[in-house]
Chain A
Amino acid sequence: MLLITLLLPQAASAAPPPQPKDFPQGVSAVSPGSDLWREIRQRDLPVEGITQVQGVDSGVLINAEGDRWARFRIENPVRYAPTVLLFVIAILVLFYALRGRVGIEGGLSGSMVKRFSDYERVVHWTLAIVFLFLALTGLILLLGRTLLIPLFGHHIFSLLASASKESHNLFGPIFLVSLIMMVVSFARRNIYEKGDLTWLLKGGGFIGKGHVSGGFFNMGEKSWYWMVILIGLVISISGLILVFPNFGQGRVIMAISHVVHVFGAIILIAVSIGHMYMGSIGTEGSMEAMKSGYVDINWVEAHHDRWARQVKENDKILSAEEFARLHGRKPESTDTATGQS
């Protein structure tokens, strides 16, 4: 509210200033240096000259590659990123409309199995929160000029861009640390194993009939995990190259890093929308895994039958009453538990 109050006067002044009536056409003057600079930029000679100034790219008078990078940025990621993200959202909305929530045969039983420790959930949510913050600020920086200026004007956009840029740079290294914690906590259980390919060939249960077998993590979850780790590392490293220009990297390397950073981020944001959908409203009983750390035994049998067998062998199932006592909740009847996610 305060921010809105602070920004309202600026929004009112976002309209372009009136043109002076005395000079409706303006005054055109040819820059005396244009021919010189054009010659430097377009000549058939190496762009790098010799100078006594010591530093990366200090011999380059005009960086012609910079134009190409700026054009590429506007013509590709800026143009296609909104389409990609909206397409993913549209697909999920359509999927939900046609298929609805993926339920569990027989509903939830109320008997719970421990899936994730407190620490593992802390690591997951730390990464998730930092990622969402970086995604939001990154999208403001990438698309703000196109989408926000027409809505709010130049001043508010530049304010948001300044705030986004500073916070994006500050939270970036935190994302990398969270990612490393994610590797340490989850990598071992995400190594591919026998049976994962069958899951893939059956499209995770969407192709053909019958149940698709899965271990502690199924093929889809493992692939998402490795995608987060690998693309996350690429985004982090390219981000560090951009944030720390003092390590000797030139403009070309930074332009390439920027392109890699943006494309990696858009892919990760797009797939993460699917992950958030599947983990919340898309699948019955999934959210509980990252809320309490426990999942319903029927959910385990429906999605991770190989792990369910191990759990039953080890007798690690908590009754509804035990689970409720452990979490300070009121015990629920099986019927009530069936109705909740």
Chain B
Amino acid sequence: MIEYLIDGPLWYFSLAVFCIGVLWQLARILFAASKTDLSVARGSASSGALRNVFSRFIPHHEIAPRIRVQVIAGYMFHLGLFALLFFAAPHVLFLEQNLLGFGWTPMPHWAFIVASQFAFFGLLILWLRRMMNSVSRLISTLDDHVAAILTFVVMLTGCLALLKGFSELRLLHRFTVELLLIYFPFSCLMHTFTFIPSRAFTGAWFGRRGIDA
């Protein structure tokens, strides 16, 4: 019964919530009313947007020494998670069979293990740093903690099910993924989709005013 629920209705429900929620949030941002800028342009908005999207991948040299841990751990976590999500053999197979109808070459098992170690280690460091730094702790919301813990739990249940010998462990992993999909559009996890437009918007604003930032 519970197997049917997790593999069937709950999966489709969470997927629908995820897709509709993400589209709704993006549309909300896109169609948010903003005043037309009537000032004379001092520079190109497009090049400013493009420059900002890429320049923000590297921290500004003045603050880089102070945020070295966050930057390294941040890259470890995000790159590890990206590799796991799109190049782990079970995920590629799942996407091919259940969603896309086509697949691609997955990464080898050793790379899968290294990617998950990067992701676990990075996320643990980032969350602990959030808890240990008094300023970070004060500005963190419940959403930040729930998002981090839920992501960690999803990765952990996936790691527990690595041997693929027990359907209970696979179901547990899938259930946590479904919880994450439902939570995703209404949380800070939306930064997955908004960080590029957000950088572009700020960069365009700077570029038009001729601000070199």
Query: Interface on A for B, CB 8 Å cutoff?
Result: 2-3, 5-7, 10, 118-119, 121-122, 125-126, 129-130, 158-159, 162-163, 165-167, 170-171, 173-174, 177, 292-293, 326-328
Contacts and interface: CB of A to CB of B under 8 A. Distances in A.
Given A7-B168, A163-B160, A166-B162, A125 B132 contact: yes
Nearest to B139: A328
Contacts of B159: 166-167, 170
What secondary structure prevails in chain B residues at the interface with A? helix
Interface in B138-166: 138, 156, 159-163, 165-166
Main SS at interface, chain A: helix
B113 interface: yes
Interface residues of B, number: 30
6 tightest A-B CB contacts, nearest first = A163-B160, A166-B162, A6-B168, A328-B138, A118-B132, A122-B128
Contacts of B160: 163, 166-167
A174 B165 contact: no
B107 interface: no
B116 to A, nearest CB: 6
A166 B162 CA distance: 6
A6 B2 contact: yes
B121 A174 contact: yes
B17 interface: no
Contact of A159 (B132, B133, B138, B168): B168
B117 interface: yes
A158 B165 CA distance: 10
Contacts of A292: 134
A122 B69 contact: yes
Contact of B172 (A6, A121, A158): A6
A126 B113 CA distance: 19
B136 to A, nearest CB: 9
B161 A163 contact: yes
A162 B157 CA distance: 12
Contacts of A130: 124
A10 B168 CA distance: 10
